[in-house]
Amino acid sequence: MTNLILKNKTALITGASGAIGSSIAKKLSSLGANLVITGTNKKKIDDLKKKLGPNCEGLIADLSKTEDIQNLYNQSIKKFKSIDILVNNAGINKDSLSIRMSKNEWDEVININLSSAFKLSQLSIKSMIKKKWGRIIGISSIIGIGGNIGQSNYAASKAGMIALHKSLALEFASRGVTANCIAPGFIESPMTEALSDEQKEMMLKKIPVGSVGKPEDIANCVAFLTDEKASFITGSTININGGMLMV
């Protein structure tokens, strides 16, 4: 029987309709957490909510809009009274070489990937401080550490997430709140499934363990960071990439 270590705790997970986000939601639900899952795909959020049961609230939000972020927070608090765990997982990419990148391509990626993480953290920390316990976990990326051609906006947003969570860690460690990031590498998803066999083979050659990661690899790390066993870990970035980038 699973140890319900997160019973009576509430987790808010952004980007929950994606492969990694839904896997995180399932994992934290299995540990007894109340969940608020959010995304922009109503059908996927509704389907996931049905699977997770009555202790899950599914909300649609456009994280590029401050009013949607505020509403998401308000509804979460109304439903479950507090946010104990915040998983800043939502992310988009709008790839283009820097010289050709439009203002909108830059702004949209920074707003959703980075600014929304700050705004939600700023709001959620209030209830964490009251309970003298909290976990803020940002899903960054290997790209935020190593950069990538055609992804200057995405790389900047994911590197910014790491710096943001370090600052949050410093500011709120004395209040019982930890803040950490996870930087996934090449993870199984509908996006990776769409790659040709040749593209997959080229990618696998760069991964020493010889396989791509699974969404569960990220979810298991999130679960660990919420555990009391991880209470001395804050301001860290855990790289999950099969050895693709060793830092």
Residue 23 to residues 48, 164, 220, Cα–Cα distance (Å): 10, 24, 9
Mean pLDDT of the chain: 95
Extended strands (E) in 43-114: 56-60, 85-88
Domains defined along the chain, listed by start: 10-239 (3.40.50.720)
Q: Would the pLDDT of 244 be above 70?
A: yes
Identify the pLDDT of residue 196. 84
Identify the pLDDT of residue 1. 42
Residue 73 annotated to the active site: no
SS3 call for 20: helix
Among residues 73, 133, 154, 186, the one annotated as catalytic is: 154
Distance CA 95, CA 98 (A): 9
User: Average of pLDDT values for 225-241?
Assistant: 97
